[in-house]
C-alpha cells in the first residue's frame, strides 16, 4: 500500500512539472471514478463524459496549483463537481442541449445555429455522403472550408489526430494504434485540440463582429473618465461586490443619487444569504439566479437595465458578442457597464473599449485590467455576465422600499436556486449541519461569514433610515432593524472566530459548537426580522400613494 501511494505521489509530481505521460497514467487510474462523480451529478452518461473531458483538461492546466499532493483525489473531485454544476447551470438557462441526432433532422446545414465545434464536425462527418442537392453540397463545402481554416491553429500532430477522429471517425484506440501512442495521449490531444479550435473560432468571430459594428454610429474607441470605481476605498468597505459596482455606475446613468446603504437595501443584497450546502465553500454567496434579482433591484433604484450571459459557463461566440455589444453601447453613452469576473470572481465595471486593439478596460476591487475581447468571460470562474443600466425609470420611495422588502421576504423563505445550494433562512440550518458533521471548508466558511455579517449591518442601517423617513412605519422599521443588528452582531463574532482568509479552526469541536450557537442566535434574530419586514412592507403599501 505504501509503495502504491509513493508511486502515485511520484506521478503527481511529474505531472505537475508538465509530464503528459504521467498525467495520462493518473487519468487511466482515476478516470472511472471521476466519471461516476460526474454521472452522479449530471444523471446523464453523455453529459457526464463531456463534463469529465472538460474537468480533466482543467485539471491538467491547473495541476501546478495543487499544493498538497496527497489530496489529489479530493482536488480532482472538486474540479469535476464544479464543472458539472456549471454545465447544469448553463442547461437550466439555455434549455437542454440538442443531441447530434436532433441536429441531423435539420434539412439545410447552413440553417443550423452552430454553437459548438464538435456539433459541426459530427454533423458534417455523419452527412458527408448524404444527398446530392446543390444547396446542401454548397453549404457543406462552405462549412468544410471554414473548419479547415479553424484547424490552422493546431500543430501538425494535433491536426492529424483531430481529423482522424472527427472526419475519419476513428476511435481513440484506433488512432493510438495508427500513431503509435497511448489512448490516454489521444484523449489529451483531442481535448487540447478541441479547446484550441473553440478559442480560434471565438477569436475569428469577434474579428468579424468588430468589422460589422464599424458601420454603426459608434466610435471605434471610448473610455469613461471614472470618478469613483469599485477599486476605491469607499467601495472596498462593502463586501458585496455587486453593490459596489452599482454605486460606481449609477452616478453616470441619471440624476438619482443613492448611497451605498440605499443600494444594499433597495437591491435586497443586504438581506441575502446563499451557501453551498455540502461544505459551505466560497462559491455560495454568488450562486443564485442573478438576472431577475439584479433587474428588480435596479428598478427599485429607479433604472431600467439589460444584460447578457449568466456568469455560469464559458461563453459561445454569439453570447460573447452580445456581452461586448452591451458594454460598448453603454460606454458609448457615457455609462460604464457592470460585469462579472473582470479580474477575479466578483463584480466590477467595464469603463472603456478599443475596437482596433480588441480590448476592454475594466476595474474591480483588485484594480484595473485590460481584457482582450476573446478572453472576456474566460476568467477564473469561466463565465460571462454584463449588466448595462439603460435609462432612468422613476419610482416612488415607498414603492421601491416595499418592493425590496418583498424581495427579501421571498429570499428568506427559500427562493429557487441551483442544485447543491440553499438560500435564505434554511441556509442557516445547512450551515449548522456542516459544522456538526465537521465538513466545513475553512476559507469558504470565513468568506461566507464575512459577506453575511457585512450585509446584515447594511440591512440594519437601511431599516433605520426607513424609520427616519416614514413616521407611520417607524416602529416596525426600528423593530426590524433591531433584529438585523442582533443577527449582524452574532455573524460578526463568527468573523472573529473565522477570519478571512486565514479561516480559523472550524474542525475543532469546541470552536464548532460555539459557531453553531452563534448561527442559532443569528438565525432566530433574522427569522424575527423577516416577519417584521413582511409587516413593514404591508404598512408602506397601506399608507402610501407611491407618489413620494
- Among all chains, which residue has been given the C-alpha cell 438565525? 523
pLDDT at 546: 41
Can you give the three-state secondary structure of 73-114, one letter per residue? Answer: HHHHHHHHHHHHHHHHHHHHHHCCCCCHHHHCCCCCHHHCCC
Same domain, 448 and 343: no
The pLDDT value given to residue 79: 83
Instruction: Kindly report the CATH number assigned to the domain that includes residue 15.
Output: 1.10.1740.10
Q: What is the mean pLDDT of residues 15-41?
A: 78
How far, in Å, CA of 88 to CA of 100, rounded? 19
Q: Which residues of 278-299 are buried (b: 16+ CB within 10 A; e: fewer)?
A: ebbbbbbbbbbbbbebbebbbb
Q: How far is CA 361 from CA 192, 225, 255, 348, 354, in A?
A: 29, 11, 25, 11, 8
> Is residue 107 domain-shared with residue 89, that is, in the same domain?
no
pLDDT, position 95: 42
Using the 3D structure, point to which of 71, 94, 117 is the last residue of a domain.
94
Find out whether 331 and 338 touch, Cβ atoms under 8 Å. no
Q: What is the pLDDT of residue 331?
A: 95
Q: State the cell numbers at 443.
A: 476559507
Q: What is the pLDDT of residues 118-144, one digit of tens each?
A: 444 444 444 444 445 565 555 555 556
Task: Please state, for a pLDDT cut of 90, what percent of the chain lies above it.
Answer: 41
Q: Which of 361, 392, 423 is the last residue of a domain?
A: 392
Alpha-carbon 281 to chain mean position: 14
Please measure the distance between the N-terminal and C-terminal CA atoms of the chain and give it in whole angstroms: 75
Q: How far apart are CA 167 and CA 190, in angstroms?
A: 13
Residue pLDDT, tens place only, 7-20 = 777 777 777 766 66
Give the domain-ending residue among 392, 415, 444: 392
Q: What is the DSSP string of 106-144?
A: -S-GGGS----HHHHHHHHHHHTTS---HHHHHHHHHHH
Residues 269 and 182 reside in one and the same domain:
no
* Domain identity same for 231 and 365: yes
Strand partners, 388: 306
Residue 69, C-alpha cell as written in the block: 499532493
Looking at per-residue pLDDT, the higher value among 448 and 278 belongs to 448
Looking at the structure, do residues 382 and 523 belong to the same domain, yes or no? no
pLDDT grade for 537, boundaries at 50, 70 and 90: very high
- Among 72-86, 177-191, 326-340, which is the least confidently predicted range? 72-86
| pLDDT reading at 211 higher than 70 | no
Least confident of 72-76, 215-219, 348-352: 215-219
Cα distances from 36 to residues 12, 43, 44, 149, in angstroms, run 21, 10, 11, 37
Specify whether 450 is located in the same domain as 540. yes
Q: What is the pLDDT of residues 56-70, one digit of tens each?
A: 777 776 776 665 666
Q: Of the segments 94-98, 128-132, 219-223, 302-306, which one has the largest average pLDDT value? A: 302-306
Q: How high is the pLDDT of residue 134?
A: 60
- Do 205 and 129 share a structural domain? yes
| pTM as predicted | 0.68
Say yes or no: 236 and 338 in one domain.
Answer: yes
Residues 472 and 440 in one domain: yes
Same domain, 548 and 489: yes
Model pLDDT for residues 77-103, shown as the tens digit of each residue: 878 888 887 777 666 554 433 333 333
Tell me how many helices (H) and strands (E) the chain has. 20, 9
Residues 193 and 245 in one domain: no
Q: Which residue has the higher pLDDT, 111 or 291?
A: 291
Which three three-digit cell numbers place residue 318? 454569439
The strand pairing partners of 349, in sequence order, are: 338, 363
Domain that holds residue 347: 216-255+303-392
Q: 230 or 107: whose pLDDT is higher? A: 230
User: Which range, 21-35, 226-240, 371-385, 444-458, has the best average confidence (pLDDT)?
Assistant: 444-458
Q: How many domains does the chain have?
A: 4
Residues 183 and 51 in one domain: no
pLDDT at 137: 58
CB 467 within 8 A of CB 484: no
Amino acid at each position: 500500500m505504501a509503495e502504491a501511494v509513493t508511486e502515485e505521489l511520484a506521478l503527481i509530481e511529474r505531472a505537475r512539472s508538465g509530464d503528459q505521460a504521467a498525467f495520462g497514467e493518473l487519468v487511466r487510474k482515476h478516470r472511472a471514478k471521476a466519471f461516476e462523480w460526474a454521472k452522479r451529478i449530471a444523471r446523464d452518461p453523455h453529459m457526464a463524459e463531456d463534463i469529465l473531458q472538460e474537468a480533466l483538461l482543467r485539471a491538467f492546466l491547473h495541476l501546478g496549483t495543487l499544493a498538497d499532493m496527497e489530496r489529489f483525489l479530493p482536488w480532482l473531485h472538486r474540479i469535476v463537481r464544479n464543472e458539472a454544476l456549471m454545465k447544469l447551470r448553463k442547461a437550466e438557462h439555455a434549455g437542454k442541449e440538442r443531441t447530434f441526432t436532433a441536429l441531423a433532422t435539420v434539412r439545410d446545414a447552413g440553417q443550423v445555429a452552430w454553437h459548438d465545434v464538435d456539433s459541426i464536425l459530427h454533423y458534417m462527418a455523419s452527412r458527408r455522403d448524404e444527398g446530392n442537392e446543390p444547396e446542401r453540397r454548397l453549404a457543406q463545402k462552405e462549412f468544410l472550408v471554414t473548419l479547415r481554416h479553424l484547424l490552422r491553429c493546431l500543430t501538425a500532430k494535433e491536426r492529424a489526430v483531430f481529423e482522424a477522429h472527427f472526419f475519419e471517425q476513428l476511435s481513440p484506440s484506433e488512432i493510438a494504434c495508427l500513431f503509435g501512442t497511448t489512448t490516454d495521449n489521444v484523449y489529451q490531444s483531442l481535448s487540447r485540440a478541441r479547446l484550441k479550435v473553440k478559442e480560434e473560432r471565438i477569436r475569428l468571430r469577434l474579428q468579424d463582429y468588430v468589422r460589422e459594428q464599424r458601420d454603426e454610429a459608434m466610435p471605434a474607441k471610448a473610455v469613461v473618465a471614472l470618478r469613483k470605481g469599485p477599486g476605491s476605498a469607499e467601495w472596498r468597505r462593502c463586501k458585496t461586490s455587486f453593490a459596489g459596482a452599482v454605486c460606481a455606475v449609477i452616478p453616470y446613468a441619471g440624476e438619482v443619487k443613492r448611497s451605498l446603504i440605499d443600494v444594499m437595501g433597495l437591491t435586497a443584497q443586504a438581506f441575502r444569504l446563499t451557501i453551498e450546502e455540502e461544505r459551505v465553500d466560497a462559491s455560495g454567496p454568488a450562486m443564485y439566479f442573478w438576472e431577475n434579482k439584479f433587474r428588480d433591484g435596479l428598478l427599485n433604484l429607479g433604472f431600467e437595465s439589460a444584460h447578457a450571459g449568466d456568469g455560469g459557463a464559458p461563453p459561445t461566440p454569439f453570447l460573447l458578442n452580445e456581452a461586448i455589444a452591451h458594454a460598448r453601447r453603454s460606454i458609448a453613452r457615457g455609462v460604464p457597464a457592470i460585469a462579472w469576473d473582470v479580474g477575479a470572481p466578483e463584480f466590477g465595471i467595464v469603463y472603456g473599449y478599443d475596437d482596433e486593439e480588441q480590448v476592454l478596460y475594466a476595474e474591480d476591487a483588485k484594480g484595473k485590467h485590460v481584457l482582450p475581447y476573446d478572453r472576456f468571460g474566460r476568467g477564473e470562474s469561466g463565465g460571462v455576465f454584463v449588466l448595462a443600466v439603460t435609462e432612468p425609470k422613476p419610482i416612488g420611495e415607498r414603492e421601491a422600499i416595499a418592493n425590496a422588502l418583498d424581495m427579501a421576504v421571498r429570499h428568506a423563505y427559500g427562493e429557487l436556486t441551483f442544485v447543491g445550494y440553499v438560500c435564505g433562512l434554511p441556509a442557516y440550518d445547512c450551515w449548522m449541519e456542516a459544522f456538526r458533521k465537521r465538513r466545513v471548508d475553512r476559507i469558504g466558511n470565513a468568506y461566507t461569514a464575512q459577506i453575511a455579517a457585512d450585509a446584515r449591518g447594511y440591512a440594519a442601517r437601511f431599516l433605520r433610515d426607513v424609520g427616519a423617513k416614514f413616521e407611520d412605519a417607524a416602529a416596525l422599521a426600528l423593530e426590524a432593524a433591531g433584529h438585523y443588528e442582533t443577527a449582524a452582531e452574532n455573524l460578526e463574532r463568527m468573523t472573529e472566530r473565522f477570519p478571512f482568509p486565514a479561516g480559523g479552526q472550524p474542525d475543532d469541536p469546541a470552536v464548532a459548537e460555539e459557531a453553531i450557537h452563534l448561527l442559532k442566535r443569528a438565525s432566530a434574530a433574522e427569522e424575527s426580522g423577516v416577519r417584521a419586514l413582511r409587516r413593514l412592507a404591508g404598512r408602506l403599501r397601506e399608507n402610501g400613494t407611491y407618489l413620494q
